[in-house]
Amino acid sequence: MKIPFFRYGHVFRQQQDEILSALLPIFEKGSFILQNDILEFESQIAKFVGVKHAIGTGNATDALELIIKAAGIGPGDEVILPSHTFIASAAAIHNNGAIPVLADIGGDHLVDPASVESLITPRTKAIMPVQLNGRVCDMDRLGTIAAKNGILIIEDSSQALGAKFKGRCAGTFGLAGVFSFYPAKVLGCFGDGGMITTDDDAIAAKIRLLRDHGRGGHGGMVEMWGRNSRLDNIHATIMLVKMKRYPQEILRRREIAAKYEKSLKRIKEIRLPPAPGSQKEHFDIFQNYEIQAYNRDALKEFLANEGIGTIVQWGGKALHQFANLGFQCHLPNTDKLFKKCLLLPMNTSLTDEEVDFICSRINLFFPRCIS
């Protein structure tokens, strides 16, 4: 059996005919930039997540950069985010001239509110929780810290479309949130794509200008300096087709997570993410299935020899561990996690037989634990 970590071709094959027939009229009409399909997709995302505004962008990195800009965060300002995230989260802050300040993580691999609180200074303008692996942080605690200190929350919910905390979706907790449609994300397109969600009318209006060269409603007059970061109409068309299946996709991911839980929970040498449904405040969508494993590197190599692809997130390092970025911080929980963390395959191309095979090989690697 050959089980790559992710099957990029599946993103297309899964709904091949439906996608091709939706695209043909778009190509024929030449509906390529800011057409109705984008407005329709934006309104579907707004409704799905439960916010007033959704604004399509070129990718989620741009989306974060645009929010930070629209919020007026710039040189000298600090934004606190976890070190266990993609470089894009911090780059969006850095590229606005502001300073990313890295926090440690808690037992669920998400940012630790206590660590966030300890890093607040008079220059702190915002917290950027990262809703990693398709799970939402404890937004009650982060919300309290933000309110107490008069600072904003900007959510990097790139990995968490449809994930909930206390019944509320990722992307609705702060000033604004973002989603990524990078192919390997839960709702993947055929290239780059992103979305901003917000309930704030003024921020939404400003971001709509910023993402389209600063051009506004009246005959496209330039109202301010902007840039170009629009979601392609072609991608909006593809995503409208994919949205129809999305609720099912989430359920399938949760089913796979439940299978992993059932077959791996007895192995003492590994630690699994919370099982779906096991914590009533959280509805996780399992963008990733991130385990901690004793002897991680040997397990990874063993699985590779068995034809099973796994990865360590971000190429194996948390942000503060990239020496060239110049972060000077001590984040013991994150350091510990990065010796043990591993992503098992988690996507809807996986069959039950494949998940069983992955579990059987892991059980073989830790032989004492076979039940």
Ligand X SMILES: *Cc1c(COP(=O)(O)O)cnc(C)c1O
Q: Exactly one of 113, 134, 188, 194 binds ligand X (CB under 6 A); which one?
A: 194
How far is 324 from 314, CA to CA, in rounded Å? 15
358 in Cβ contact with 3 (< 8 Å): yes
Comparing CB distances to ligand X, the nearer of 157 and 270 is 157
Give the helix ranges, DSSP H, for the chain: 10-13, 16-29, 36-49, 60-70, 87-94, 113-118, 139-149, 201-210, 233-264, 296-305, 332-340, 352-365
Of the candidate residues 19, 41, 59, 103, the single one contacting ligand X (CB under 6 A)? 59
The one segment of 57-65, 169-177, 277-285, 326-334 that binds ligand X by CB under 6 A: 57-65
> Could you say which of 46, 51, 54, 61 contacts ligand X (CB under 6 A)?
61
Phi and psi of 178, rounded to 5°?
-130, 155
- Using DSSP's 3-state secondary structure scheme, residue 308 falls into strand
Q: Which is nearer to ligand X, 48 or 366 (CB)?
A: 48
For 351, phi and psi rounded to 5 degrees? -90, 165
Binding residue count for ligand X, defined by CB under 6 A:
15
85 near ligand X, judged by CB under 6 A: yes
Please identify, among the stretches 17-25, 31-39, 86-94, 289-297, the one whose residues bind ligand X according to the rule CB under 6 A: 86-94
Q: Which is nearer to ligand X, 71 or 359 (CB)?
A: 71
- Residue 182 as a binder of ligand X (CB under 6 A): the answer is yes
- Binder to ligand X among 19, 49, 55, 88 (CB under 6 A)? 88
Please identify, using beta-carbon distances, which residue of 96 and 159 lies nearer to ligand X.
Answer: 159
- Give min distance, CB of 21 to ligand X, in A: 27
Chain centroid to Cα 78, Å, comes to 22
213/224 Cα distance (integer angstroms): 8
Under the binding rule (CB under 6 A), the answer on residue 172 touching ligand X is no
Whichever of 81 and 204 has its CB closer to ligand X, that residue is 81
Distance of CA 8 to CAs 19, 26, 161, 174, Å?
A: 16, 23, 19, 32
Kindly state the smallest distance separating residue 82's Cβ from ligand X, in Å. Answer: 9
3-class DSSP state for residue 87? helix
What character string, x for contact with ligand X (CB under 6 A) and - otherwise, covers 135-164? Answer: ---------------------x-xx-----
Rounded CA separation 312/128 (Å)? 22
d(CA 31, CA 23): 10
Binders in 115-134 for ligand X, by CB under 6 A = 130
Residues that bind ligand X (CB under 6 A): 59-61, 85-86, 88-89, 130, 156, 158-159, 180, 182, 192, 194
